Structure formats: structure tokens, C-alpha cells
Amino acid sequence: MSSGKLYLIPVPIANDALSSLSADVYTHTEHLRFYFAENARSARRFLRSVHAKLVLEEVTISEIDKHKGTDTALLKKWLKEGKHVGVLSEAGCPGIADPGAEMAGIAQYMGAEVIPVTGPNSLILALMGSGLNGQSFAFNGYLPLKEPARSQKIKELETRSRVENQTQIFIETPYRNDTLLADLLKNCDKDTRICIAKNITGPDSYIRTKSAVHWKQKIPVIGKVPAVFLILA
């Protein structure tokens, strides 16, 4: 058993949307001094935004390497030493389509307490606002990048949605948002409902659901912002 604890700390989805954070985020980050983060610079900026008087020199942040991944040996060391460790995602909740899941798994294996802190989750907020089936849904992460695998996956998800009456949810790297929308409109049936949810909780938050044929009448430009896509055939 480990006496250390792992806190999964949500951060705003949209830039500076601090009002979307729960009080628990402020409470825990006031005391945590050891973190893992996808980007150390943005993690420090976030911590300073929620605690103006925080002395950042007293905070240790291990950046998750894009190629090598998390320093799992350091995580195990900190937890064994009884340190309480925070995980910061780049947007939304850690552990959902990001390296936080691996760390939570390690902590669970070690017998350390894992504490998911409440906060903004783009997937659930998008589903709530979409008007699509919220009783049966599946998150599929990122779709394949290359053809024909990409089109095949879209058609496969559409078929599953139709057969099971299940909302299919996926995301994309922001600079490929508009390409993904074009691929959805190319491959989905005209009556399939498609929801675009972008920059949720931001001042320009946008959640719209239309059939594919109606989207084609006026295709929006999504741009390079956090976005979630949902379909229901």
C-alpha cells in the first residue's frame, strides 16, 4: 500500500474559463506541490491563475514526454514516499484520452488512493447539449488519420449508432477539426445527426446538432479550438 495520493485535476476547456472549475480544484491545488503535466509551462500558468500568491519555485512539475510518455518511475517514487501528486491535463479532465489514465492505473496497482476532482468535461457537456441519446453512448477517442481506414471507421461508427441507437463521440486535434467535419459529411448518411461542440464553457461556446444534409447547406468553419464531434444515425 502507498500512503501517497493521486489527484486528477481538471483545468478549463476554454482559455481562462476559470468559472467552470469546482471549489475542490482550488482547495487541492493550494496544497499540492508535485505534479505531472502535458506541458509544464501551461501548467504553471494555470496554477498561477488559480493561486496568485503561489510560489512556483516550490512546485515540482514533471512534464510528460510526447514520445517517451510519463516518468512512471518518478510517479512510483513519489507515491511510495507518501507524496500527494496532481495530474494536470491540457484541457478538461485528466484520464480521458490523455496520459492521466496510465498514472491512475499505476496508482491503483500500488494501492494508492486516486481522487478524481470534479470539473469541466467536454465529452459530457457536449453530450448534454447535443440532444442525442444520452442513455447509450460510446467515446471513441481519435479516428484514424489516413484513408481508407478513416472513412471505414466513420461508416463503422455510423452503422453501430444506427443498430444500437447509440451516440458515437470522438475528438480531433484542433488543426484538423475542419478536415474531420468534411470527412463526416462525405461519409455519413444524409439523415445522420451530427453535433459539433466547440470551445465549450468559453464566451464563444458553440453546440449545434443538424442532419448531415442540413450541415452541407452551410458548412461552418470550426477553427483551431477544442472540439467534440457526436453522431447518431
| Rounded distance between C-alpha atoms, residue 154 and residue 146, angstroms | 12
Residues 210 and 228 in one domain: yes
pLDDT digits (tens, 9 = 90+) for 191-217: 999 999 999 999 999 999 999 999 999
pLDDT digits (tens, 9 = 90+) for 3-26: 899 999 999 998 889 999 999 999
Grid cell locating 213: 444534409
For residues 212 and 188, the answer to whether their CB atoms sit within 8 Å is yes
Domain boundary among 91, 116, 141: 116
Inform me whether the pLDDT recorded for 178 exceeds 80.
yes
Q: How many structural domains does the chain have?
A: 2
* 98-136 pLDDT per residue, tens: 888 999 999 999 999 999 999 999 999 999 999 999 999
User: Which of these three, 94, 116, 138, is where a domain ends?
Assistant: 116
pLDDT in tens, 47-74: 999 999 999 999 999 999 888 889 999 9
| Final residue in a domain of this structure, among 65, 88, 116 | 116
Tally of residues, the chain? 233
Answer whether residue 148 shows pLDDT above 70.
Answer: yes
Is there a single domain that holds both residue 166 and residue 214? yes
Identify residue 44 by its one-letter amino acid code.
R
Confidence of residue 81 (pLDDT cuts 50, 70, 90): very high
Please state whether the predicted TM-score (pTM) of the whole model is above 0.75. Answer: yes
Q: 96 and 143 share a domain?
A: no
60 and 85 together in one domain: yes
CATH code assigned at 228: 3.30.950.10
Contacts of 202 (CB under 8 A, 6+ apart): 13, 14, 15, 17, 225
Q: Percentage of the chain surpassing pLDDT 70?
A: 100
Say what the pLDDT of residue 90 is: 87
